[in-house]
Amino acid sequence: MVWNSAAKFGFVSFIGLLAVTLCENDASAASPNIELIGTATISGTAVDATGETAALVDGSPANRMGGWSGMEWSGQGNRFFLLADRGAGDGLVDYQCRYHEVELECDEKTRQIQFRTISTQTIAGADGCPIVGSLTAHASDLVKHACTAMDPEGLRILANGDFLICEEYGPRLAVVGRDGLVRREFVTADTFRLLSDKPGEATHGAFPNRAWEGVAITPSGNRIVAALQGPLIQDAEVVNGWLTGQDCRFAAYDQTGKPTEQWIYRLDSSNVGLSEILAVDEERFLVIERDGGHGDDAKIKRVYLADVGEAADVSDTDDLITTKACERQAITKTLFLDFLDPRFSIRDEKPEGMCWGEPLEDGRRTLWVCWDNDFEPTRNSLIACFAISDVPSLGKVSLQSDVRTQSSKLDR
């Protein structure tokens, strides 16, 4: 891959991204001007750069590479950051949360991405105490209102070089230094707080394992947007212990972390969840929606272009059902990329992280996506790079709500 060395970190002010309007009978349509230019598969038994040699309580290595839930370009060349989630066993082990700096070099001729781990940084509290993915520590946090556990899901770089990490346990938006120490947290409104880690127990707030799933920072740095994986409990219905509904929320903050607005993002159905959000400009974002299927069972693995420009602010609305807020103007969304398109045919279960990379020499933008393998040694991790051409005209479609549809579990 030949990179344009003159590209600057603020390139995402680019607003001419290509999108294809979602047609009623052709949800799988995809643009001919999006090209898959490379992929990398990393073994499920690969190790990170911590140098740890111990085994976790389930017998898995403490230095296992995988579980990628967030991805961010460093702003320089082929260097990227990959964020790991809560670790092997889905929260059953004391895996210390961490992120990796990696080098990704794509060869357009062979369509292969060369992957190299540069470093791994573990995450700890301001006092230096490790932050782990353990559900036991998480349950203790709910009682003590501490922060000793996280389920990291999204990663972005702030203007000062610190990381902004969103996680599902609090849920929290935490500012983390390059030394891995948590500097501060954004204030989380009670509307979004997780009140119980037992599905179906709470009547308000985030549903377990369905809270902050992605975070985006606009090119100006003045707007930060966090996105839920699914609806809040008060915005949907709990049926047989599981949440059903399509209306999840985006929450916007200014650069200081002060809440500013909330908008309704309408999922395709209750059977999908939101996995990532990435800023295009000040009002438009790429959003990953996916189901829980893998291989032939995969039905929805899509990237939408979401426009908040005309969406109603629902910050003053605690309950989207009884107040009929779902009738307010939701974010408009346009199909942008379908991973299941025969030209790509990527059927891995969990596309979880997404970021821009350095533009190509021919001017096309690069969009990078990583897949979460759940730390399973028999499943490879996947990274893909797409080249995006510039088409200035964008269509929009506002989808209708169906909050009564039965949901399915997206995360084990």
Phi then psi for residue 90, to 5 deg, are 55, 50
With residue 181 as reference, give the H or E element that holds it.
Answer: none
**CATH (one of 3.40.50, 2.115.10, 1.10.3470, 1.10.10) for 18-388:** 2.115.10
The residues spanned by each domain of the chain are 18-388
Each residue's pLDDT tens digit in the chain (412 positions)?
434 333 333 333 333 333 333 333 333 344 558 999 999 999 999 999 999 999 999 999 999 999 999 999 999 999 999 999 999 998 999 999 999 999 999 998 999 999 999 999 999 999 999 999 999 999 999 988 888 999 999 999 999 999 999 999 999 999 999 999 999 999 999 999 999 999 989 999 999 999 999 999 999 999 999 999 999 999 999 888 889 999 999 999 999 999 999 999 999 999 999 999 999 999 999 999 999 999 999 999 999 999 999 999 999 998 998 776 557 899 999 999 999 999 999 999 999 999 999 999 998 999 999 999 999 999 999 999 999 986 333 333 333 333 333 334 454 4
Contact residues for 337 (Cβ-Cβ < 8 A; gap 6+) = 30, 31, 34, 302, 303, 344, 367, 386
Query: Using CA atoms, how far apart are residues 298 and 397, in angstroms rounded to an integer?
Result: 24
**What pLDDT score was predicted for residue 325?**
57
Tell me which amino acid residue 46 is. Answer: A
Helices first, then strands: H and E counts in the chain: 1, 22
SS3 298: coil
Query: Using CA atoms, how far apart are residues 84 and 67, in angstroms rounded to an integer?
Result: 5
SS3 137: helix
**How many CB atoms are closer than 10 A to CB 26?**
11
**What pLDDT score was predicted for residue 344?**
96
Query: Using CA atoms, how far apart are residues 30 and 343, in angstroms rounded to an integer?
Result: 9
Nearest to 80 by CA among 375, 374, 367: 367
**What pLDDT score was predicted for residue 31?**
56
Nearest to 403 by CA among 351, 348, 330: 330
Q: Is the pTM higher than 0.85?
A: yes
Contact residues for 94 (Cβ-Cβ < 8 A; gap 6+) = 56, 57, 132, 133, 134, 137
**What pLDDT score was predicted for residue 412?**
43
Tokens 């991204």, located at residue: 17
